[in-house]
Copies of this chain bind each other. A is one copy, B any other.
Amino acid sequence: MPIHYPNGKPYQAKAQSSREPVNYGGRGMTLEDELNQSNQYYRQTQQAVVYKKPTPLQIVKVDYPARSQAVIREAYFKTPSTTDYNGVYRGYYLDFDAKETKNKRSFPLKNFHAHQIAHLTACLAQGGICFALIRFVSLERLFIYPASDLKRCWDEAQNAGRKSIPLSEIEAHGIELHPKLQPLIPYLEGVDQLIQMKRGNHHA
């Protein structure tokens, strides 16, 4: 079988970093772990149905050992076309990505890919509730940052040659979340505010 390579760019950087747990708040859980726990809690309590999408892989070679399950022997990480999380809450479509930085004063835009911004913008146009969950690890602060603001800052940064969003901008337009025990990341509280804002805009 010829060896194929994925169409997308190599995904080594993210693939590796996703296996290095970032320690914050003394809990030793990654933002992804905390979100998985929170999504599970929201599903179990029937508040929302949100999942992380599986990591997209380009499968090249699969073995089928007799009387045993298939084993993938060669595969590559692909660049995802979309964000990592989506689902449904009170009739609303939710779509978001979760990112963290060790920076203290700004959020580096290199954490996002252009196609993720385009995806969030397309979902916004369809009436979805779209945002980024942004954690400042060193500050132990976590924000829901609306996709419409992210898109505005992304475009401004492209034009101005800037490479990050100042914390003050995220403080001004984001919704700060305060970790709880259940769920660890109570992001639906922020989503409720986004829904209120959306309704307000429609009625204005």
Which chain A residues have a beta carbon within 8 Å of chain B's beta carbons?
5, 10-12, 15-16, 43, 46, 48-49, 51, 53-57, 59, 62, 64, 68-77, 80-82, 86-93, 95, 119, 122-123, 125-128
Contacts and interface: CB of A to CB of B under 8 A. Distances in A.
Secondary structure dominating the interface of A: mixed
Copy tally for this chain in the complex stands at: 2
Contacts of A59: 55
Contact of A126 (B12, B72, B88): B88
Contacts of A54: 53-57, 80
A126 B91 CA distance: 5
B72 A75 contact: yes
A69 B127 contact: no
A64 B88 CA distance: 37
Contacts of A72: 57, 72, 74-77
Contacts of A76: 69-72
Contacts of A71: 74-76
Contacts of A43: 122
A80 B46 CA distance: 20
Nearest to A51: B82
Contacts of A46: 122, 125
20 contacts: A11-B70, A15-B70, A16-B70, A46-B122, A51-B81, A54-B55, A55-B57, A57-B72, A71-B76, A72-B72, A72-B75, A73-B73, A73-B74, A75-B75, A86-B87, A87-B93, A88-B95, A88-B126, A91-B126, A93-B93
